A = this chain, B = another copy of it.
Amino acid sequence: MKPKLLIVEDDPNLGEILSEYLGLKGFDTTLKRDGEEGGHAFQKDTYDLCILDLMMPKKDGFTLAKEIRSTDSETPIIFLTAKSMKQDIIKGFTIGADDYMTKPFSMEELLLRIQAILKRSVKKEEEAAFPNPFNIAGLTYYYQENRLVTPKREINLTTKENELLKIFFENVNKTVDRSMALKKIWKDDSYFNARSMDVYIAKIRKYLQDEPSLKILTIHGEGFKLVEVV
C-alpha cells in the first residue's frame, strides 16, 4: 500500500512539482492550496504524513499544524519554510514538527527525510502491536484472528466488527471519539459511514451480552465508552 501524503502548498508551481515527484516515487499524494483546504482534507481522510508550507493565505501552516495536533498526535508533519525566515524563528514555529525544509531544497533530500520519518513510525506501529491474545473480564480476544471467545461461545468477527472491537479494547474506560473511530476504520467521517458504525455498535453490544461486566455506554455527541464494571 502506498503511503498517503497530504501536501499543503500555495505556490502552484512548487505544489505540482512536489506532488508529481512524490507520486512517481510511490506515494499517494493529495495537494491542497491553502491551510483551510488542507484542514478539510485532513478531517476527511487519514494520511501517513503531512507536508505543510508555513506561509500560506487564509490559514498558515503553523495554525493548521496546531489544529491537526489537537485531534491527532501521531501523524508526522514536515514544514516548508522560506529562506528569508531567521533560523531562530523557524525553530520556534517548527517545535512539534518532525522535520522542516528550507526553500529551496532538493527533492531528493525531501524524499530521504520522508522515508526516514515513515520508517520510524512504521517501526513504532509494529512495536505497539495489539496483544494477541488479549484477556479482559471473562473474555479472550484474538485480534489477529478476528476471534472473540466468550464463556458461552466462540465468535468469528467480520473485518469491521474486529477493527471496532479492537479500538474499544484499546480504550477501556475511556471515551472513543466517533469521528476518530470512523476515520480509522472507514477512512472517512461521513453521514452514511456514521450510520453504518451505529449498526456495528449494536452488533458488538450483542456479542458483549455474554459478559455482564462489560458495557458500551453512549456519550451523546461524542462517541462511546466501553466500561469494565468491577
Q: Which residues of B contact A21 (CB under 8 A)?
A: 95-96
- Contact partner of A73 (CB less than 8 A), chosen from B26, B69, B158, B180, is B26
Name A74's closest neighbour in chain B (CB-CB): B26
Of the listed stretches A40-48, A51-59, A191-199, A212-220, chain B binds A212-220
Contact A20 B96 (CB under 8 A): yes
Question: Chain B residues near A82 (CB, 8 Å)?
Answer: none
Q: A175-227: which residues lie under 8 A (CB-CB) from chain B?
A: 177, 180, 215, 217-222, 227
Q: Answer yes or no: A92 CB below 8 A from chain B CBs.
A: yes
**Complexed CA–CA distance, A222 and B187 (Å):** 12
Chain B residue numbers with a CB within 8 Å of A146 are 217
Main SS at interface, chain A: mixed
Asked whether A121 is an interface residue with its Cβ less than 8 Å from the other chain, the reply is no
Q: A222–B20 contact, CB under 8 A?
A: no
Q: How far is the CA of A222 from the CA of B186 in the complex (A)?
A: 12
Q: For residue A92, which residues in chain B have a CB less than 8 angstroms away from its CB?
A: 17, 20
| B160 and A96 within 8 A (CB) | no
Instruction: Report how far A12 CA is from B159 CA in the complex, Å.
Output: 47
Residue from the list B20, B26, B220 in contact with A159, Cβ < 8 A: B220
The answer to whether A144 and B159 have CB atoms under 8 Å apart is: no
List of 6 A-B pairs having minimum Cβ-Cβ separation, nearest first: A24-B96, A26-B73, A21-B95, A159-B220, A24-B69, A144-B227
Given contacts A1-B180, A95-B107, 15 further A-B contacts (CB under 8 A): A1-B177, A20-B92, A20-B95, A23-B69, A24-B69, A24-B96, A25-B69, A26-B73, A144-B227, A144-B229, A145-B215, A145-B217, A145-B229, A146-B217, A158-B220
Binding site for B on A (CB under 8 A): 1, 17, 20-21, 23-26, 65-66, 69, 73, 92, 95-96, 107, 144-146, 158-160, 173, 177, 180, 215, 217-222, 227, 229
